Amino acid sequence: MPNNLYDHIDYVLINEEQLQKRIQEIADDITAKHADHENILLICVLKGAIIFLADLTRALKRPHELEFMAISSYEGKGTVPGAVRLVMDLKQDISNKHVIVVEDIVDSGNTIKYMRGLLEARMPASIEVCSLLTKPSRREVEVDIDYVGFEVPDEFVVGYGLDFDELYRNLSFIGVLKPEFIPSH
Ligand code: IMP
Ligand code: MG
pLDDT in tens, 26-71: 999 999 999 999 999 999 999 999 999 999 999 999 999 999 999 9
Contact 175, 13 (CB under 8 A): yes
pLDDT of residue 76: 66
Say if CB 161 and CB 174 are below 8 A apart: no
Question: Among 159, 142, 65, which Cα is nearest to 104's?
Answer: 159
Mutate to test the pocket of ligand 1, among 44, 85, 105 (most ligand atoms within 8 A of CB): 105
**Integer Cα distance of 28 and 56 in angstroms:** 10
55 is catalytic: no
Q: How far is the CA of 135 from the centre of ligand 1 (A)?
A: 9
Strand partners, 100: 42, 128
pLDDT at residue 129 greater than cutoff 70: yes
Q: Spot the catalytic one: 10, 107, 144, 165.
A: 107
Ligand 1 pocket test target in 10, 51, 162 with most atoms within 8 Å of CB:
162
What's the burial of 171, exposed, middle or buried (CB within 10 Å: 0-12/13-18/19+)?
A: buried
For the stretch 136-175, pLDDT in tens is 999 999 999 999 999 999 999 999 999 999 999 999 999 9
Report d(CA 123, CA 105) in Å as an integer.
Answer: 25
Percent of the residues in the chain that have a pLDDT greater than 70, as a whole number: 95
- Give ligand 1 pocket residues (Cβ under 6 A): 48, 103-111, 156-158, 162
Residue with CA at minimum distance from ligand 1 atom 11: 105
pLDDT reported for residue 5:
80
Q: Kindly report the protein residue whose alpha carbon is nearest to atom 22 of ligand 1.
A: 162
3-state secondary structure of 110: helix
**Mean pLDDT calculated for residue range 12-39:** 98
Sequence-separated (6 or more) residues with CB below 8 Å from residue 32: none
pLDDT at 82: 79
pTM score of the predicted model: 0.94
- Pick the atom of ligand 1 nearest to 164's CA: 21
Residue 137's Cβ-side half-sphere holds a number of Cα atoms within 13 Å equal to 6
pLDDT at 110 over 90: yes
Region 19-29: mean pLDDT is 98
